[in-house]
Amino acid sequence: MKYSGWPDTGELVVGKIDEIEDFGVFVDLEEYQDQRGLIHISEVASGWIKNVRDHVREGQIVVCKVLDVNTESQQIDLSLKDVNDHQRSDKIQEWKNEQKADNWMALALGEDADDETYTAVANELIGAHGSLYDGFKQAAIHGEEALEGTDLSEGEIDALVETARENVSVPYVDVTGYVDLENASPSGVDGIRTALEAAEGNGEVPDEVDLEVSYVGAPEYRINVRAPNYKTAESQLEESARRAVAAIEGEGGSGEFHRERRTDDE
Residue 132 belongs to a domain with what CATH number? 1.10.150
Residue 1 falls inside a structural domain: no
Q: Both 104 and 141 in a single domain? A: yes
Q: Both 61 and 90 in a single domain? A: no
pLDDT at 169: 81
Which residue, among 173, 166, 150, has the nearest Cα to 108 in the 3D structure?
166
Q: Both 145 and 94 in a single domain? A: yes
Q: Which of 144, 167, 190 is the last residue of a domain?
A: 167
Residue 76 belongs to a domain with what CATH number? 2.40.50.140
Classify burial at 5, counting beta carbons within 10 Å of its beta carbon; exposed 0-12, middle 13-18, buried 19 or more.
exposed
Residue 120 falls inside a structural domain: yes
Residue 201 belongs to a domain with what CATH number? 3.30.70.1130
Domain count, the chain: 3
pLDDT at 1: 66
Q: State the residue range of the domain holding 220.
A: 173-258
Q: Both 221 and 240 in a single domain? A: yes
pLDDT at 263: 56
To the question of pTM greater than 0.75 for the whole model, the response is no
Along the chain (266 residues), what's the average pLDDT of each consecutive run of 10 residues? 88 96 96 95 93 95 97 96 96 95 94 89 94 93 88 95 90 89 93 94 81 91 90 91 95 91 58
Q: Residue 236 and residue 243: Cα distance in Å, rounded?
A: 10
Q: Both 74 and 95 in a single domain? A: no
Q: Residue 10 and residue 21: Cα distance in Å, rounded?
A: 24
Q: Both 201 and 254 in a single domain? A: yes
Residue 238 falls inside a structural domain: yes
Asked if 211 contacts 201 with a C-beta cutoff of 8 angstroms, the reply is yes
Q: Which of 109, 142, 167 is the last residue of a domain?
A: 167
Q: Which of 63, 83, 103 is the last residue of a domain?
A: 83
Q: Which helix (H) or strand (E) holds 104?
A: helix 85-109
Residue 49 falls inside a structural domain: yes
pLDDT at 152: 95
